[in-house]
Amino acid sequence: MDYFKGKTAVVTGAGGTLCSAIAVDLARKGARVVLIGRTEEKLKAVKNVIDDFGGESMIAACDVTDEKRMCEIAKKIGERFGPCKFLVNGAGGNNGKVMTTNKCFEQGELELDNSTEFKGFFNIDMNAFEDVLKINTIGSVIPSRIFGRQMAQNGGGSIINFASMNSYCPLTKVPAYAMSKSAVMALTKWLAAYLAPAGIRVNAIAPGFFANERSEKFLGTPETGLSPRGQSVIDHTPMERFGKADDLLGTAEWLLNDEKSAFVSGITVPVDGGFLTRSGV
């Protein structure tokens, strides 16, 4: 517990279900937590939770792909809390505009244009496709550059990136997300090797299927009923449930803590209820 006390942790995507839980947990452990995300209202809600138990935090509403703005935030963080010691790159996501309706090619999609509701590979929105690639890849690169510099100047630190089950094998219907999350795993390995001389460890967490607003939309819930895709996920998950945000906390703490994982760098840890163990055959 005392390991995190008084040290600065930056969490991007801190307004989301998973990273808000990590941010609150780090604050409970005594870290000074910086909450970064696009939506200030969501960040304020997380800060209120931290305030209620006397934790230290500050919010910074920002698009993590805006390098100039992120540099400004980093300067303010350094002045108020001191240099970043821990970075959780949780900002990211998908876009329904680049999710295909079908799992594989159908001849009829050749006749469709971008205005139709049916989305195949040949008529998805390429601007949205690029946006997904940008937030999931550049959205990890820029914070790693800015806060990694602070770590390198001050004796080291630890970075966690957010990968996915798509990092291991692309799931159907999500080409941009699969492509970008594979890149996150590669980036994690590259940064781990590059930053090792600076005393910076870089690892990633690959969540399986977790319950949140987005998952409910596409997968449903056991309580309200699962979609066919949701049922397929459960059938492929030996633990037969979706993950909860708290399921990530132990892994995040372990990877950030030099006293517990000092010789661990460049790995991606699946937290998936066993999803990767079942081939589906």
Residue 19 has pLDDT above 80, yes or no: yes
- Cβ-contact 73, 60 below 8 angstroms: yes
Residue 183 belongs to a domain: yes
Q: What are the Cα distances from residue 234, in Å, to 34, 213, 249? A: 35, 17, 22
Please report the pLDDT score of residue 223 as a whole number.
77
pLDDT in tens, 94-137: 999 999 999 999 998 898 777 788 999 999 999 999 999 999 99
pLDDT in tens, 38-75: 999 999 999 999 999 999 999 999 999 999 999 999 99
For the chain, the three-class secondary structure string (H helix, E strand, C coil) is CHHHCCCEEEEECCCCHHHHHHHHHHHHCCCEEEEEECCHHHHHHHHHHHHHCCCEEEEEECCCCCHHHHHHHHHHHHHHCCCEEEEEECCCCCCHHHCCCCCCCCHHHHHCCCCCCCCCHHHCCHHHHHHHHHHHHHHHHHHHHHHHHHHHHCCCEEEEEECCHHHCCCCCCCHHHHHHHHHHHHHHHHHHHHHHHHCEEEEEEEECCECCHHHHHHHEECCCEECHHHHHHHHCCCCCCCECHHHHHHHHHHHHCHHHHCCCCCCEEEECCCHHHCCCC
- Cβ-contact 23, 11 below 8 angstroms: yes
Q: Which residues are catalytic?
A: 177
Question: What is the maximum alpha-carbon separation in the chain?
Answer: 62
Residue 1 has pLDDT above 70, yes or no: no
Residue 184 has pLDDT above 70, yes or no: yes
Residue 252 belongs to a domain: yes
Residue 238 belongs to a domain: no
**Apex CA 131: angle with CA 130 and CA 134, to 5°?**
85
How many distinct structural domains can be found in the chain?
1
pLDDT in tens, 134-173: 999 999 999 999 999 999 999 999 999 999 999 999 999 9
Residue 59, domain CATH: 3.40.50.720
Residue 220 belongs to a domain: no
Residue 224 belongs to a domain: no
For the whole model, what pTM was predicted?
A: 0.94
pLDDT in tens, 196-248: 999 999 999 999 999 887 777 778 887 778 888 889 999 999 999 999 999 99
Please report the pLDDT score of residue 218 as a whole number.
76
Beta strands 220-221 and 225-226 are: antiparallel
Residue 161: name the closest of 182, 175, 179 by CA.
182
Please report the pLDDT score of residue 108 as a whole number.
87
Distance (Å, whole) CA 239 – CA 18: 19
Domain of residue 34, residue span: 2-208+243-277
Please report the pLDDT score of residue 210 as a whole number.
93
Residue 253 belongs to a domain: yes
Distance (Å, whole) CA 183 – CA 134: 11
Please report the pLDDT score of residue 221 as a whole number.
82
| Main-chain dihedrals φ then ψ at residue 5, nearest 5 degrees | -60, 125
pLDDT-based confidence at 281, cuts 50/70/90? low
